[in-house]
Amino acid sequence: MKDRSLDRRTRKRLATRQLISDVATRLFMERGFDRVTIDEIADAADVGRMTVFNHFPRKEDMFFDREQEMRDLAFNAIRSRAPGTSPIEALGTLAHDMVAQPSEAFPLFAETRTFVETAQASEALKARARQMRDDFVRALAGVLADEAGRPADDPDAHLAAGLIAATGSVALSRAHAEASATGDDVAAARIFLAMIDRGIMGTQAALQGTPFR
């Protein structure tokens, strides 16, 4: 359904971006990220090479095109948390909600197996994933510090962000390993949530006496 709150030009631009992303994702999954060129993506999407770059400055951005949405989801969970709920608890609740009610934008395990395998097969994508993780930690630290009324470079905020990011990264990695090895997505979800809960408890212990706990 079209979003009529947007003007026609914006809707057309977003539709073109989505088309390029969809075509690129299909080619990446079929042939592997490193074997697909920008020109091939442009041809398959029936757009010019510069149109591709106008929407996605880097080839890796087409693969990780939901990164900003994931950040927004996490940051909104913190900012809209219920009174008496810590930021860390809010993120733990978000993880449980994503498993209980998977969204089309962020399906877990069964629907993302090929995505993860494609990413793991490319050094370029693994490098970009590490960079995005570092960027996420810095941005999350800023949100946490702002919520607590502390400066953006607050050490405790950065510690909290690093521990949270590590928890999510390891939980996803081990859950996907389980799903890939056994095909059991229920077991994968169980591993994911168990590690999230353990990581949340460890993070809370490490941040005892800070406003981030």
Q: What is the CATH number of the domain that holds 43?
A: 1.10.10.60
- Residues 105 and 81 occupy one common structural domain: yes
- Residues 112 and 182 occupy one common structural domain: yes
d(CA 54, CA 103): 28
- Residues 72 and 21 occupy one common structural domain: no
**64 Cβ contact partners less than 8 Å away, ≥ 6 residues apart:** 125, 128, 129, 132
d(CA 107, CA 101): 9
Whether residue 3 is contained in a domain is answered as no
Whether residue 77 is contained in a domain is answered as yes
Q: Evaluate whether 88 touches 203 at the Cβ level (below 8 Å).
A: yes
Q: Domain holding 71: CATH number?
A: 1.10.357.10
Q: Evaluate whether 86 touches 209 at the Cβ level (below 8 Å).
A: no
Q: What is the pLDDT of residues 157-179, one digit of tens each?
A: 999 999 999 999 999 999 988 98
Q: Evaluate whether 143 touches 76 at the Cβ level (below 8 Å).
A: no
- Residues 92 and 144 occupy one common structural domain: yes
Q: What is the pLDDT of residues 28-41, one digit of tens each?
A: 999 999 999 999 99
Q: What are the angstrom distances between the C-alpha of 70 and each of 3, 103, 182?
A: 21, 12, 27
Q: Evaluate whether 174 touches 191 at the Cβ level (below 8 Å).
A: yes
Task: Look at residue 5 in the predicted model and tell me its pLDDT.
Answer: 64
d(CA 71, CA 172): 16
**pTM value?**
0.87
Whether residue 211 is contained in a domain is answered as no
Mean pLDDT of the chain: 91
Instruction: Tell me whether residue 211 is exposed, middle or buried, using C-beta atoms within 10 angstroms of its C-beta: 0 to 12, 13 to 18, 19 or more.
Output: middle
Q: What is the pLDDT of residues 69-85, one digit of tens each?
A: 999 999 999 999 999 99
- Residues 73 and 147 occupy one common structural domain: yes
What is the number of domains present in the chain? 2
Q: What is the pLDDT of residues 43-71, one digit of tens each?
A: 999 999 999 999 999 999 999 988 889 99
Which domain, by its residues, includes 85?
67-206
